[in-house]
Amino acid sequence: MTDQEIQETEIDVLEFSQRGAEVPHAKVYRVRIDGEPFRFEDSSPTGEMVLARVGKRPCAFELIEEFTHRENCVVEPDEKVDLRKHGLKGFITAHKEIVTIFLNGEPYQIERGERSIADILGKAGQTAQGYILLEEKDGPPLPLPDNRPVEIDGCEVFHSQARSGASS
């Protein structure tokens, strides 16, 4: 039997790391993400795929590999992780401080927390005087009041539109 051949049907990655043993090829790898077990059939998913298993996205969350005998390591969204890597205990996720939002389809980096309409429009070089900001959240894009801050958690989808209305 060669190393590439499947030796186990389903293995628990944490058990192997605790024993200090090499992880064999298997049909299914059981991996913990934030302490909860998930089953993977692919031994080299991308960081984004791992995050997706816990309903999270790289625009708001970071994925971190945890090892038994070495420091944790951040995994980039498009980076492939090796679930058979020696000492891998599993993954944890962390809410990013600098998150990604989408404005008119373009991604922009912004600090998490309360941000003004002007802060958000400014990412696209637009001003609150000339534009309205609309947020697409659980429905169609709706204007956001410009006298209230917007809570940014990451992954928000915004649109801007030149102002067209005025009180008369």
Smallest distance, Å, CB 69 to another protein?
49
Smallest distance, Å, CB 158 to another protein?
13
Q: What are φ and ψ of residue 121, in 5° steps?
A: -60, -35
Smallest distance, Å, CB 35 to another protein?
35
Coil, strand or helix: which one is 55? coil
12 forms beta bridges with 30
How far apart CA 80 and CA 63 sit, in angstroms, is 12
Which span (24-32, 57-65, 77-85, 139-147) binds another protein, by CB under 8 A?
139-147
159 forms beta bridges with 134
Residues in the chain: 168
What CA dihedral angle connects 106, 112, 116 and 122, to 10 degrees?
Answer: -30
Binding mask 25-44 for another protein (x = CB under 8 A): --------------------
Closer of 37 and 130 to another protein (Cβ): 130
Smallest distance, Å, CB 57 to another protein?
22
Residues that bind another protein (CB under 8 A): 132, 134-135, 139-148, 161, 163-168
